[in-house]
Amino acid sequence: MSAALPPPLAVELRLRQPGLDIQAQFRVPPGHVCALVGRPGSGTTAVMQCAAGLIPAQSGRVTVGNQVLYDTPTGVNLKPQDRRFAWVDGRGQLFPHMTVQGNLSYGHRHAQSRGLQGPEMATVVEWLGLGPALALWPNQLDVATRQKVALGRALLSCPQALMLHDPLAEAPAHEQPALLDLLTEQHLRFKIPTVLSTPRMDEVIRLADDVVILHEGRVASAGPLSRILSDVSLSTFLEGVHAGAVLEGVVRQHDIQWLLTDVNVAGQRVTVPAVLHNEGRRVRLKVRARDINIHREPLQDSSVSNQLRARITQVMLAGDHGSYGAVAVDLLHTLDTAARPHSGGDQLWALMTRRSIQQMALEPGQDCYVSFKSMAVTVAPR
């Protein structure tokens, strides 16, 4: 019989910071990661701290399943240790007077003292590869190992929610892929509702299921990652010229001769530079809006590898005298005879000059083709 899933986390808070009145609300199901993103000073860190009970709120409600952790009308306001939110940041803070074994045991004992049944320490040690480091002290650890110990201690404490605050801030670039693999695996293995805050969008794309965008303390947009990060109208709050689409796909096959990989997206083939992922592996593709072209008919004798069938859903112009605009399209599922958009809502945005948009008379409802080079795509495993 499988273990019961942890309960979902629900947060609705209002709090004040110097010069900023913050209001935020979001829900995180078990096994999901919700990313709070925004420009510096938008309030993401404060919201996480407030939900964990580390700083006070003006009003609101925080629950885990049926358990109320904070509620203004009823006066419930549990202490941070009673909310049982584990906090892991980029510094990988450990108890300096304890070995790796001692730090991990602390989390395990903390859970046992409350009668909680969390993961076995041997299982976590083996998963994180910490066996050779158990007798070492924190000042003897490299950054990556310190982060693994901090994550292991957090999971062994059997938390109700995991707060990841810029977890790779101090990790060297060559260590980050392996740490990202572990962070991706943890929410699949342990199913703990996880809240993520990081300034690097590649980490959001890799880890998050849902995204909440905060702008000057208010929720500017919220929803599934592929929809939110594929909306260039939100680029002011995110990546600017790097804004584009995030597409969900599955690795279909590898072309060893040409070092390319085919990915199935909405029933259509997208070719990308070769990736080291098995066939059938879920991946996310990022394509910048500035790298997308729109055509009435398929291109002939072109070096562009990817030409996908789509339908225009929205045309945005930057005013009557602006030089550019944005065109949104939904990919059409090739297996659907009615050519309806794929149920996953696979959407692309193309940044184009206003002249091109008007000369092509692009309007919502028109069928078209979108094209982009294989080298314009970045791939992240799921």
The residues, ordered by sequence, that sit 6+ positions from 208 with a Cβ below 8 Å of its Cβ are 33, 34, 35, 196, 225
Q: What percent of the chain has pLDDT over 70?
A: 93
pLDDT < 50: residue spans in the chain? 1-2, 336-344
pLDDT score at 37: 92
pLDDT score at 243: 75
Give the whole-angstrom CA distance, residue 165 versus residue 3: 28
pLDDT score at 335: 54
To 5 degrees, how large is the angle CA 376–CA 381–CA 382? 130
Identify the bridge partners of residue 309 per DSSP, sorted by sequence position.
369
| CB distance 249 to 381 below 8 Å | no
The residues, ordered by sequence, that sit 6+ positions from 303 with a Cβ below 8 Å of its Cβ are 373
pLDDT score at 375: 93
pLDDT score at 343: 40
| CB distance 350 to 256 below 8 Å | no
pLDDT score at 336: 44
What domains are defined for the chain?
Answer: 9-238 (3.40.50.300), 244-374 (2.40.50.100)
